[in-house]
Amino acid sequence: MKIALLGNPNTGKSSVFNLLTGMRQKVGNFPGVTVEKKTGVFYDGNQSVEIIDFPGTYSLNPRSLDEEEVSKVLKDENNTDYPDLILAVIDSSRIENNLFLFTQLYDLGLPMVLVLNMWDLAKKQGVNIDLDKLQKSFPDVTIITTNARVGIGKDRIIEAIRTPKKRNNTRFIKKEENPEENTPNFERKIVELRKKRIQELTSSFVKKEKTQKTSRLDLLFVHPLWGYLFFLMVLMVIFQFIFSFASYPMNWIESSFLSLSEFTANTFPSGIINDLISQGIVPGIGGVFIFIPQIALLFFFIAILEETGYLSRVVFIMDRIMRPLGLNGKSIVPLISSLACAIPGVMSTRTISNWKERLITILIAPLMSCSARIPVYTLLIALVIPQGYVMGFINIQGLVLFGLYLLGIIGALVTAFVLKLIIKNKSKGFLLLELPNLKPPVWRNVGFTVIEKVKIFVFDAGKIILAISIILWFMASYGPGDTIEKSSQSLMKSENYQQSTNDEQQSLKSSVMLENSYIGNLGKFIEPVIEPLGYDWKMGISLITSFAAREVFVGSLSTIYAVHDERDEKQKLRETMTKEKRKNGTPTYTLAAGMSLMVFYVFAMQCMSTVAVVKRETRSWKWPIIQIAFMGIMAYAFALLTFLILS
């Protein structure tokens, strides 16, 4: 049996879903589109029941991508996701509003169970519902009450699903009652008719004792000064957590994968398969896993903000500021997410109903400095920025790091403004946003959101990162003709090599191999292009390998500079890079070249996973290509400018 779970946003629908399915849920997409489809399974005795959690919607007349998908599935009996039964969830305290979607669903004619959720809250707020009268209006629907937040009502739901009532071909609004199609204002008349009838009906069975006012906290959250300060503080706390605490599990993951690589390299018979696993696949998977702590932490906080209802207040105070830039208040969530990773960021733009506002948000999201840029920034900052303090207490290196983030954010906002002037759009953007009651988060829901987002990252971005890692491994291990072999042989004859220790010999060998590989040749090929920016072919190699994931930059440099030190490879790499000289004898990593490289990383679209996600979300290659182009031009231009100014 297949059940569709439907309801307005903020009705506790996901609480019901999590209550029923527990850990037995998975996230996918509806066929052909990118709208998220959460499915879960629960058992009633021995019978397994599949339940699809549709995105929250106010009506079957769609106004966003999410809502469009809901109505598409429900109106097409041949759709693979067409349900046998509808489980409709309603926030009892707002029953009149919620009945709009419910009666639309009722008119589909499918067997239905109506869940009056938040039953206690409604009572507390003085909303008294006469269940008998409600039942009489919808005689062929099973009606139950629950408080899913605190886990009450699970058994009642399962029982109702087990023996659903048969529908007697009843409709809330009969087909012939609807106004004729294609008459002027047809859409409005339909909606008005339904709404009017609901209002008449509700007044017969709902008694309201008092209306509730907005809370005092709301006045703080939307205050012109304190509102923004509070939001800023929230952001600072979140990023403090992400950057300081995530580094422990990240270091642990990094070293685990390093030892796993070494283990496979030493255990299995050497050869191409061994190399593929230990140098291509294992580091590739490691490159995916390393981001999980930061992504999990970020979505942990975003889920809390969403669960408590605070996030909609943020949208409320940001909307007017974002609008002149062609964005929507709702763009704030994708943009913040992109500070961890652009992939979930781009995916969270689906709630923005206006196509132009959504598209601009997608296009600028990768300009926010993501966590993959951090290893690059920290390496280069340590290399070219002197330690010390400005005005006695501001750490210069920290200041530069902050400046890079700021540069990305400003770049994103300016780009948004330019795109707004260029991209044409017929329909005007609007904002219809519910400000739900502020309430403590349901930790179970927060946990499930984190798991869900991490899964999306691992499977969506992960497979591309892994694939590119393997391609890059191949390109870095093999070269045209027998140049690799020849140069290795001449290396082995050199005096320097023969006087080195075993480990050093290994490093020298990998360095020569990389130099003569396909990638090495590519790096030399692009050298004339990147020379004006202050880079040489070695940096060129690392720029190319960064396309799998930006942090690969560090690893590539380690290889090309033949760094080998098991105790502290990064320290050693820094020392080697400091000593590195150009052909004319001046240092390679000057302040100008280092800063130019960092600026390049701020703007360049060096992330194939993001390209793939943007392609999927915009349903064409046009936008990702435009995005790669303008980000590339920005990166080159600003890196060039930086280099010229500083040198």
- Rule CB under 8 A: which residues touch another protein? 58-59, 61, 63, 93-94, 96-97, 100, 125, 127, 185, 187-188, 190-192, 195-196, 199, 208, 211-214, 218-219, 222-224, 227-228, 312, 315-317, 319-321, 329, 427-428, 430-436
Q: How big is the chain, counted in residues? A: 647
C-alpha–C-alpha distance, residues 43 and 52, integer Å: 14
Least spacing, CB of residue 308 vs another protein, in Å:
15
Least spacing, CB of residue 446 vs another protein, in Å:
23
Least spacing, CB of residue 223 vs another protein, in Å:
8
Q: Is the CB of 203 or the CB of 496 nearer to another protein?
A: 203
Q: Is the CB of 171 or the CB of 197 nearer to another protein?
A: 197
- Asked if residues 160 and 113 have their Cβ atoms less than 8 Å apart, the reply is yes
Q: Which segments of 497-626 are extended strands (E)?
A: none
Least spacing, CB of residue 221 vs another protein, in Å:
9
Q: Is the CB of 233 or the CB of 321 nearer to another protein?
A: 321
Least spacing, CB of residue 202 vs another protein, in Å:
10
C-alpha–C-alpha distance, residues 283 and 466, integer Å: 9
Q: Is the CB of 227 or the CB of 408 nearer to another protein?
A: 227
Q: Is the CB of 8 or the CB of 294 nearer to another protein?
A: 8
CA neighbours within 13 Å on the CB side: how many for 507? 22
Q: Is the CB of 254 or the CB of 434 nearer to another protein?
A: 434
C-alpha–C-alpha distance, residues 53 and 69, integer Å: 12
Q: Is the CB of 226 or the CB of 263 nearer to another protein?
A: 226
C-alpha–C-alpha distance, residues 644 and 638, integer Å: 10
CA distance readout (Å), 444 to 17, 120, 151, 549: 11, 20, 10, 32
C-alpha–C-alpha distance, residues 402 and 398, integer Å: 6
Least spacing, CB of residue 422 vs another protein, in Å:
23
Q: Is the CB of 34 or the CB of 61 nearer to another protein?
A: 61
C-alpha–C-alpha distance, residues 491 and 274, integer Å: 24
C-alpha–C-alpha distance, residues 485 and 292, integer Å: 39
Least spacing, CB of residue 413 vs another protein, in Å:
17
- Burial track 610-642 (b if 16+ CB lie within 10 A, e otherwise): bbbbbbbbbeeeebbebbbebbeebbbebbbeb
Least spacing, CB of residue 318 vs another protein, in Å:
9
Q: Is the CB of 320 or the CB of 581 nearer to another protein?
A: 320
Indicate the residue type of 477: S
Please give, one letter per residue, the 3-state secondary structure of 87-111. EEEEEHHHHHHHHHHHHHHHCCCCC
Least spacing, CB of residue 345 vs another protein, in Å:
23
